[in-house]
Amino acid sequence: MEPSPIRKGGAGPFAGEQKQVNLVSGQYAWNQPGNSPQPAIAATEERQLQIWLTPHGFLKAALENNATAKKGSGGTVVSFTLGKFQVNGTIDSQNMVTRTETWLPNPVLGDMPVETDYSGYKDFNGVKFPTAIVQKQGGFPVLNLSVTDVRANPGLVLSVAAAVQAAKAPPVTVTSEKMADGVWFLAGGTHNSVLVEFPDYAVMIESPLNDARAAAVLDQARKLIPEKPIKYLINTHNHFDHAGGIRYFVAEGATVITQQANKPFYEQAWKAPRALDPDRLSKNPKKASFITFKDKYVLSDAGRSLEIYHVDGDNHNADISIVYLPKEKILVEADDFTPAPPNAPPTGPRAHAATVFLYGYVQKLNLDVHTIAPLHGFVVPFSVMQKVATTEVSSLSR
Ligand SMILES: [Zn+2]
């Protein structure tokens, strides 16, 4: 549930209670919060690995994969490799698995440590199981479980639906929509980018997700503006789904423009090794160059002008920025307002609060906005955002 007061943060905001049921069986992964299974192909590798990171899964995998053992700080450290993944586990003097660790590839953090601590072992009808489970990814807690009941072999039947078996990873597609002379909205997936043409170069606003998305977005840009280099990549904020493709543009020689708080974070994160899933920048190493600003940055050249504003106090992310094209009266924004498709479920309180805040901020900045180019969803007139921002959330969620 959304806590009150509402927290900042990524992921889809929601109203009411959200239940997640995430499954994996063999090579198939899917989500099934309701009756119909939704394939989750991209999650398969991690979900398989998560089984081997549990105490009982770890012991089974160690037995089957020629594990080695050595003395470590908290007991005996048992290690094995599964494909490209190394898995280590600590077994204490009571013969309990107290910790497992591995590394998963992440577009921002590279080979990202995944550490899980198990404590408070209790005997549940003959099965010893930890009552406290904490998992950290990249050093931050992502899961904190208190276990109150354990049942061994409860007869779970997992049948993989035909739709899940037949599902294929969707191809990366990039569509382009001309918004004004020299301004294109690049969509076709879950995240958008905006391409702006200057007299001697081009500017890309946002490179989301990962290398694959970035490569497809850059390809589209080269088709639209074949003769000019992408000189600048503007990054709106540091949430991983909006920052995972920045490195690709660095490898292509673009300078990154972002709010000043983001630079030290990216520089630190990008130092990590990337052996599990090498990206373009790790294969063609290059020092990233940044232009940073505190409140505002203006890019102006021969009649084309683009303004970047830090949204101070933003509800969604502290270091987020918006981009405004004054001549075209276009506002590019991420996550504070995502136009809802027809018949969409009601907007959650977190999304609504972010839209209200951004709407007020745009007025405070005195920006004359006609069109919203959102980095999720589709292009809409500013009046659509205005309507959401000035409607009570209670009536939106009915
Ligand atoms: Zn975000």
Tens-digit pLDDT profile for residues 42-83: 999 999 999 999 999 999 999 999 999 999 989 999 999 999
Calculate how far, in angstroms, residue 78's C-alpha sits from the geometric centre of ligand 1.
38
Q: Write down the residue that tokens 């003395």 correspond to.
A: 71
Q: 368: buried, middle or exposed (CB in 10 Å: 19+, 13-18, 0-12)? A: exposed
Calculate how far, in angstroms, residue 293's C-alpha sits from the geometric centre of ligand 1.
19
Render pLDDT for 262-299 as a digit per residue (tens, 0 to 9).
999 999 999 999 999 999 999 999 999 999 999 999 99
CA distances from 42 to 24, 87, 137, 318, 377 (A): 11, 21, 17, 29, 21
H or E, element range at 396: helix 393-396
Collect all residues with Cβ–Cβ distance below 8 Å to 197 and sequence separation of at least 6.
Answer: 182, 183, 203, 224, 225, 228, 304
Render pLDDT for 193-240 as a digit per residue (tens, 0 to 9).
999 999 999 999 999 999 999 999 999 999 999 999 999 999 999 999
Q: Write down the residue that tokens 């690049």 correspond to.
A: 186
Contact 313, 357 (CB under 8 A): yes
Calculate how far, in angstroms, residue 8's C-alpha sits from the geometric centre of ligand 1.
9
CA atoms of 300 and 284, how far apart (whole Å): 31
Calculate how far, in angstroms, residue 105's C-alpha sits from the geometric centre of ligand 1.
20
Calculate how far, in angstroms, residue 335's C-alpha sits from the geometric centre of ligand 1.
5
Calculate how far, in angstroms, residue 98's C-alpha sits from the geometric centre of ligand 1.
34
Calculate how far, in angstroms, residue 239's C-alpha sits from the geometric centre of ligand 1.
5
Calculate how far, in angstroms, residue 69's C-alpha sits from the geometric centre of ligand 1.
42
Calculate how far, in angstroms, residue 320's C-alpha sits from the geometric centre of ligand 1.
8
Calculate how far, in angstroms, residue 238's C-alpha sits from the geometric centre of ligand 1.
7
